[in-house]
Structure formats: C-alpha cells, structure tokens
C-alpha cells in the first residue's frame, strides 16, 4: 500500500535541488533522494569551516560548486520540482566575530537565490532550514511557534531574516515555501573537526578520542536533540505536504535531557569497540567564557505539535539509540 512506502518514494522521478548538499544535513538528504530514484543536483560553496565534502554524496548526484547567490545557479534551477534550501552559516560564535560574513551567507546570497527561483522556477516547492536560535532566550517551555522571536546573536537575527524572506516570497509572490526551525542535530557525516558547529559534534569527537568533555556552567541546561534521519523525514514531509506552504514549523524531541546526561550517553556510546587500555572520556564542568555566556540561551526544548498535526511528523529515534548508531558509524570509518 502507498501508505506503507517510505517518505522518499514520493520523490521518485522528480528533479530536486539541495543547497548545502555536500554538508551534514544536506548530504544525508541527498542519499535518501538518490536511493528513491530522484534526480538530484547539489549546490554547495564548499566553505572550509562548514565541512562540505564531495565524498559525502553518491556519484549519481550532480554537483555544482557555487554560492547559492551565484548567477550560475540559475542554470540548474530550470526544471527543478523541489528545492531543499539547507545552505547557511550556523556558528553563533563566528557570527559575532564576523557579522558581515554571516550576513552575506545567510541573508544577501539567500535573497539573490530567492530572486532566481522566482524568475526561473517559480512553481517549485521550497523548504528552508531555519533554527530554534530565532527565539533567543525562552520565555516559556516548551517553545511553540507563537513564542516571540528575539534572537540574541547575529546568526539568529540573520537566520530569522532568511526564514522571513522565504515566507514573504510565499505570501507576496506565491512561492511554495515553508521553513523548519531545527534544534540540535547529530548523526553520520557531521563535521567533527570544527568547534563552531554546535556542542554535539564536539561531544562526539571528544568521546571517540577518549578526551575530556567540558560543560559550561553546571551542565543542567536542557536540550532536545534530533538524529539527522528524523530531520530528513521532516524535510521530505514538508516538501510533499501542500498545507505546509507558507508555514513555519518547530522540530523538536520529547526526550529532553540535561547537557550532563547528553555527555554521559555520548561517552557510553563510545565504549563498545574501544581498545583495551584506551583512555575513556570524562565530564568536567567549567566556567563560562564571557563571550559565549553573553549569547547562551539557557534551557531550550521545542513544541513540535504543529509539525505533528500538519506534516504527520514526529521524531522516531531516541537520543540513546541515535548516538550509539552515530558513534558506531564513525568508528567503522576510523
């Protein structure tokens, strides 16, 4: 029965474009689309800090190395049915160090991209990945889509602007766009070598190496974490649900954990296969660096009820299971 088929089967025979498709989330999406029989073109600027790698995607995907705002991208937009706009700069700390770069990557080039879509492929469905950082420090938990947006760093401001440009183009120009506000994401193909891409890849890298994991503050801050496979499910559902057009959705997880428990589970997941006598990670709480404490949002977890109602989405993977599978994936490739 059709209802029993995987979500990606809806895209068989479609032509899809994935921006940021050589990176973490984008490449996992590309694998699912290619396996389903979609024609996939990837646009990725290969910004060194972002971890994009041609080896992340199967050979069947066409790859164009360019910024999303590059006029050459218009050539590959022609005939595209579905656009997954995953490209962007995600480091909150780096956005404060170089705000003009963040503005270019997350706003200016994205606006050029929207203009190209409007001109070349106005009937395509567009799903954009935004972030829970647009909310800033929560006024209540869990955070739903009615919560005020009050970002406290440059990245949050720019990602909110990018998201809102997509929704404005939906309202004013009829673009079939929606936005997904992501929480903390982990899984295979995540770049582990750069500390600016979130705490989860740092935890994974340190656990694999047997190094100490440092927690800022007392480790009690709450987070909801999503395996990348659950994120890909949401992207596919948003792109194939007409009721999603013009809407924004939180993605979150009901399995809310303190950072100390997230670190403990990550260390436990690194234990299988560890060589006898090899160092085992530990956890240590340290004082907040001033420049990071000023942009910390405290505890956060999202209400994903709207995504459940409209998209039929909810996370399938617990953190304990997902982090164990993630560590096994990296160990197999060490």
pLDDT score for 3: 56
CA pair distance 201, 288, nearest whole angstrom: 19
Residue 13 backbone dihedrals phi, psi, to 5 degrees: 85, -10
Q: Is residue 5 part of a domain?
A: no
* Residue 55 included in any domain: yes
pLDDT digits (tens, 9 = 90+) for 91-141: 888 999 999 999 999 999 999 999 999 999 999 999 999 999 999 999 999
Domain presence at residue 27: yes
The arithmetic mean of pLDDT across residues 81-88, rounded, is 97
Which pairs count as long-range contacts for 287-293, CB under 8 Å and 24+ apart, including other chains? 287/216, 287/217, 288/216, 288/217, 289/216, 291/93, 291/96, 292/93, 292/216, 293/216
The CATH number linked to 165 is: 3.40.50.720
Q: CA torsion angle for 170, 174, 176, 180 (degrees, to 10)?
A: 0
Residue 63: inside a domain = yes
pLDDT at 1 over 60: no
Asked if the structure places residue 279 within a domain, the reply is no
Question: What integer pLDDT is reported at residue 5 of this predicted model?
Answer: 83
* 275 belongs to a structural domain: no
pLDDT per position as a tens digit, 209-256: 999 999 999 999 999 999 999 999 999 999 999 999 999 999 999 999
The 10s digit of each residue's pLDDT in 43-60 is 999 988 778 999 999 999
Residue 321 lies in a domain: no
The residue range of the domain holding 168 is 10-186+227-253+302-316
Q: Are 171 and 229 in contact (CB under 8 A)?
A: no
pTM value > 0.85: yes
> What distance in Å separates the CA atoms of residue 9 and residue 21, rounded to the nearest whole number?
19
Q: Is residue 270 part of a domain?
A: no
How many whole angstroms separate alpha carbon 151 and alpha carbon 286? 25
Residue 192 reports pLDDT greater than 60: yes
Kindly give, in sequence order, each residue whose CB lies less than 8 Å from that of residue 212, ignoring residues fewer than 6 positions away: 206, 281, 282, 283, 284
Domain count, the chain: 1
Express each pLDDT in 146-159 by its tens digit. 999 999 999 999 99
Tell the residue number behind the tokens 């490209």, with chain if given.
87
Per-residue pLDDT for 276 more than 80? no
User: Is the per-residue pLDDT at 197 higher than 90?
Assistant: no
Q: Answer with the residue of higher pLDDT: 328 or 280.
A: 328
Q: Does pLDDT of 272 surpass 90? A: no
Report pLDDT for 261: 97
């Amino acid at each position: 029965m059709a209802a029993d088929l995987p979500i990606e089967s809806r895209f068989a025979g479609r032509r899809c474009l994935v921006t940021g498709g050589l990176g973490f989330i984008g490449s996992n999406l590309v694998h699912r689309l290619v396996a389903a029989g979609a024609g996939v073109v990837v646009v990725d600027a290969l910004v060194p800090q972002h971890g994009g790698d041609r080896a992340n995607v199967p050979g069947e995907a066409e790859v164009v190395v360019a910024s999303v705002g590059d006029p050459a991208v218009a050539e590959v937009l022609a005939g595209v049915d579905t656009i997954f706009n995953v490209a962007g700069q995600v480091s909150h700390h780096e956005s404060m160090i170089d705000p003009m770069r963040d503005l270019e990557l997350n706003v200016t080039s994205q606006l050029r991209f929207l203009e190209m879509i409007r001109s070349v492929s106005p009937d395509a469905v567009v799903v954009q990945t935004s972030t829970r950082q647009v909310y800033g420090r929560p006024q209540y938990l869990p955070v739903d889509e009615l919560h005020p947006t009050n970002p406290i760093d440059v990245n949050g401001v720019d990602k909110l602007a990018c998201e809102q440009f997509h929704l404005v183009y939906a309202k004013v120009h009829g673009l079939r766009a929606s936005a997904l506000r992501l929480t903390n994401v982990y899984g295979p193909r995540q770049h582990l070598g750069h500390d600016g891409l979130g705490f989860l890849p740092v935890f994974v890298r340190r656990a694999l190496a047997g190094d100490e994991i440092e927690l800022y503050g007392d480790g009690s801050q709450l987070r909801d974490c999503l395996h990348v496979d659950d994120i890909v499910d949401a992207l596919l559902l948003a792109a194939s649900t007409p009721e999603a057009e013009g809407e924004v959705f939180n993605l979150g997880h009901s399995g809310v954990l303190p950072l100390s428990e997230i670190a403990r589970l990550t260390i436990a997941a690194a234990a299988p296969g560890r060589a006898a006598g090899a160092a085992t990670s530990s956890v240590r709480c340290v004082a907040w660096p001033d420049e990071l404490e000023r942009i910390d949002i405290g505890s956060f977890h999202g209400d994903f009820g709207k995504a459940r109602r409209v998209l039929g989405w909810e996370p399938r993977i617990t953190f304990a299971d997902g982090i164990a599978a993630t560590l096994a994936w990296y160990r197999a490739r060490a």
